[in-house]
Amino acid sequence: MIVGASLAGLHAARTLRGEGFDGELTLVGEEPHPPYDRPPLSKQVLLGGGEAPDTTLPFTDIPDVVHRFGAPAVRLDPVARTVTLADGGELPWDGLVIATGARARPFPA
């Protein structure tokens, strides 16, 4: 299981599959939409560009991954080896990668 569905989480999933891992793989992400590349999106907005560019990160090329977008992980139980989601769902794991990254720091207006 990979908690974090942005660039690092996708890279972890792609690497696991590329190295031959063929077990069940679940990618859990807080945001309800597919992963996207944040820097180009924020730069476009700051520059006053018209429409935001498509910054969706490629993720459909990673075989046999269960995507749980819009399902933030809120609890980790290392003894039971489960991750609890905000909706109350509980997912078991044999191996866990935490790739939640960092929060953006807003600029003062």
Number of domains in the chain: 1
pLDDT of residue 66: 86
Q: Of how many residues is the chain composed?
A: 109
What is the model's pLDDT at position 43?
Answer: 60
Mean pLDDT, rounded, of the chain? 81
Q: How many whole angstroms from its chain centre is CA 69?
A: 8
What residues does 90 pair with on adjacent strands? 84
Q: Could you read off the pLDDT of 18-51 as tens digits, one per residue?
A: 999 999 999 998 877 666 556 555 566 566 665 5
85 vs 34: which has the higher pLDDT: 85
Instruction: Identify the pLDDT of residue 107.
Output: 72
Helix (H) or strand (E) segment spanning residue 12:
helix 7-18
pTM over 0.85? The answer is no
- Asked, for residue 48, whether it belongs to a domain, the answer is no
pLDDT value, residue 79: 97
Cα four-point dihedral sign 64, 98, 73, 40: negative
Q: What is the extent of the structural domain holding 7?
A: 2-41+55-98
In a domain, 104, yes or no: no
82: CB partners within 8 A, 6+ apart: 76, 90, 91, 92, 93
